[in-house]
Amino acid sequence: MSDSKTSQDSSIYPVLPLRDVVVFPSMIFPLLIGRAGTLAAVEKAMVMERKILLLSQHDANKEDVSPEDLYQVGVISSILQTLKLPNGLVKVLVEGLQRARVTNMSTDQECLMAETEPLDLIEPDSLGTRAHMNVATRIFREYVNLNRQLPDEVLMTLSNLTSPESVADFIMAHLPLSSTKKQEILEESSLPEQFKNINKVLDQEIEILKIEHNIEGQVKDKISRTQRNFFLQEQMRIIKKELGEDTEEDFSDVIAYRKKIRKARMPKAVRERADEELEKLKGMPMMSPEATVIKNFLDWVCALPWSVKTTDTLDLDIAEKILDEDHYGLRKPKERILEHLAVLSRVDKIKGPILCLVGPPGVGKTSLARSIARSMNRKFVRLSLGGIRDEAEIRGHRRTYIGSMPGRIIQGMRRAGSINPVFLLDEVDKMAADFRGDPSSALLEVLDPEQNFSFSDHYLEVGFDLSNVLFITTANIRHEIPLPLQDRMEIIEVHGYLEHEKLQIATNFLLPKQVKENGLKKSELVLPHESIDRVIDEYTRESGVRELERMLARICRKIARENVNGETKSIRVTPATLEKYLGIPRYKENQVEKGDRIGTAVGLAWTSVGGDILNIQANVMKGKGAIQMTGRLGDVMKESAHAAVSFLRSNGADWGIAPDFVAKQDIHFHIPEAATPKDGPSAGITMATALLSALTGKPVPADVAMTGEITLRGNVLPIGGLAEKIMAAKRAGISRLFIPSENRVNWTDLDDELRKDMNVFFVENVIEVWQEIFPAKKSKSSGKGRRKSTRAARTSPAGSH
């Protein structure tokens, strides 16, 4: 390095923009460049005596720079070496020569060209400057001695420098400052001021290093004491063992765990495993990480209810009373629970299927499981499976991982405190799988009566008996439950509530609950049945009662606000004054259009929240056979529409329809509420009926609804969700239904209240539907037979005629 720099006349140099780097004179620095402008600047400098101007950017993230993006003071440097790398970048080794200020910059060339003038320093070699240099040198030596990242050779290089300017530049090159701060010092023309800034920075860095050294010393001292104590304890233990004086009185934790193990009454295999872990704990320091892992394991093993068991209440009358107190209706689930209790009263243990309650939200599946536990006098544990993706959530993590713990099944058993609780696995259809495993597969062992007597959790690594647990699962959608799980469960359909059931639930359960929760007295609110009926019909549209409970809560809050001034008065909410508390009704009383309609037929749909009706509309117009479908229909529903059109083309002659009607007409199917996605095959006969009505001009009766999949031969295939669809028809005021004949067994299995006042026709072919609702036209070939079949399938509220 040179100790002095000679002034140069005003010259033009290519500019190399720097990002987050400031190069000082006498400093050798490697640069990695790859931008087109910087590469061109290096190439131009190679033919201009290897001289180049290094200027730092204001914004390091900017790729394309202009003169305004660069500082005006930089360093004229010499290119010592260039090396092209395989990735297209170029490594350039430069040596700073002299500070320079830009007087003019041109962008006409392939790179930036700058006209410069030397930046002469003030007082470059005065006595004051020498004094500042000596102070900076002394402080820098202390900084290097404290900083392990700087080698001792730095001090040797510093001792060879005599020029104050060289010393300042050399020290600045080794200080951990931001590029902005370094640029400020580079632009400083007074050498004494440069040294003042350098000394200030050095004082701050030395103070930081001293604090770091102090912290490191404290940590080392603590570690040394811990290691010393460990070695002394080990020596003491070995000496006592050699003298035969090694007793458990020296290990209070071991004594406590041994008492816990005896008290837990574990199975023999589990007891042996716990004793093994206890022996390991005895032979290691209590503060070691391994000891902590063993302690956590022993805490879990000792806390589990290996032999704690509650006594079941097997009185069927009491159990039935409790179930009826907590829930209105739900006949089938209650019957199944009472059957379980009846069998349990005769045998010690039941190896039967797991109960799975499937139904729309808000119908009481979770609360029913809680009531089952109360009726049997068992503990109740609930585990929500919604959103679980990791198998370890069920089986736990192995103890090799830091912070590992048992899975949620074992955690639930610990919370229960008994070996025979009612264990609710909620939302079993909401699980998912990812790279961490499939939790539904882990549940197979839990829910299999032939395997769960020795459930293995990854954390415990010992068998835990789950055969005494009454597992109950819940789901909203049956087909989203994995098939292997379905095979291990007994599916019990929990259907939505009818209006009269909602009225009883609201009167006897929901309204008293909300009156109490909102701080009202019974005398403050009078809500007659007529008002509750209007709330059910016009303010809610659900299978369950959650929205109904929210509406009743809103009424109670309004009443509480009216009586907030201390004046307690009884307020009667009549159907006429209901809008004052709940606003304008949300739903129409009847969703079905009034009167008979041409080209419109009512279909029935199943959704995850219950049943609904579909007003399927068909239009025909002059055209060339195009079939248009609107209303956000899914692929399956579109295929049903095409099947309906094909059947009418081949079988419409008996109804006055030409086989080539599609050649001259366009067909448009539409299902209102177009923002709601719709799919499924059960609208097939409804689409065919609506199209036949549009083609013949014959209206479809307004009190008729139908559901069923149609084939190209007109056969009507069975459907699912019959109970929900029947409820939707009753809510809409429909009295006549056409359903597939293969669903007759599902119809007879429904509650009497659900079948009441419904006139149901079981059909095998769509022509039977048309013969009933379009009596003016009969099929010549099969009219009599099919007419007879339809009449035989017609049912009254009590069953078949």
CB 475 within 8 A of CB 363: no
Alpha helices in 377-456 (DSSP H): 392-395, 408-416, 439-447
Residue owning tokens 């830091």: 402
Residue 20 CB neighbours (<10 A): 11
Element (H, E) at 801: none
Alpha helices in 188-251 (DSSP H): 191-243
Q: How far is CA 734 from CA 360, 608, 758, 772, in A?
A: 22, 22, 8, 16
CB 248 within 8 A of CB 255: yes
Rounded to an integer, what distance in angstroms lies between the CA atom of residue 771 and that of residue 763?
11
CB 120 within 8 A of CB 59: no
Phi-psi region of 685 (alpha: psi -120 to 50; beta: other; left: phi over 0): alpha
CB 189 within 8 A of CB 99: no
**Main-chain phi, psi angles of 408, to 5 degrees:** -70, -25
Residue 72 CB neighbours (<10 A): 14
CB 529 within 8 A of CB 503: yes
Rounded to an integer, what distance in angstroms lies between the CA atom of residue 435 and that of residue 438?
8
Catalytic residue among 375, 725, 741, 789: 725
DSSP secondary structure string for all residues of 261-292: HHHHT--HHHHHHHHHHHHHHHTS-TTSHHHH
3-state secondary structure of 703: coil
Sheet of 422-426, strands arranged across: 380-384, 422-426, 470-475, 354-358, 489-493
Task: Give me the amino acid identity at 438.
Answer: D
Among 27, 31, 109, which residue's Cα sits nearest to residue 75? 27
**E strand spans, 256-393:** 354-358, 380-384
Among 358, 610, 370, which residue's Cα sits nearest to residue 492? 358
CB 688 within 8 A of CB 774: no
Residue 86: CB partners within 8 Å, gap ≥ 6?
Answer: none
Q: What is the sign, positive or negative, of the torsion defined by CA atoms of 706, 329, 528, 587?
A: negative
Whether 594 is a known active-site residue: answer no
3-state secondary structure of 578: helix
Residue 139 CA, distance from chain mean position: 57
Q: How far is CA 322 from CA 334, 359, 377, 418, in A?
A: 10, 22, 11, 22
Biggest alpha carbon distance in the chain?
A: 128
Q: Compute the half-sphere exposure of residue 380: CA atoms within 13 Å on the CB side of its CA.
A: 15
Task: Give me the amino acid identity at 121.
Answer: L
User: What radius of gyration do the chain's Cα atoms show?
Assistant: 43
Rounded to an integer, what distance in angstroms lies between the CA atom of residue 485 and that of residue 555?
43
* Residue 179 burial by Cβ neighbours in a 10 Å radius (0-12, 13-18, 19+): middle
Whether 608 is a known active-site residue: answer no
Among 650, 679, 665, 672, which residue's Cα sits nearest to residue 766? 650
CB 338 within 8 A of CB 375: no
CB 647 within 8 A of CB 719: no
DSSP secondary structure string for all residues of 77-114: EEEEEEEE-TTS-EEEEEEEEEEEEEEEEE-SSSS-EE
470-475 vs 422-426, strand pairing mode: parallel
Catalytic residue among 77, 375, 440, 682: 682
Catalytic residues, by residue number, are: 682, 725
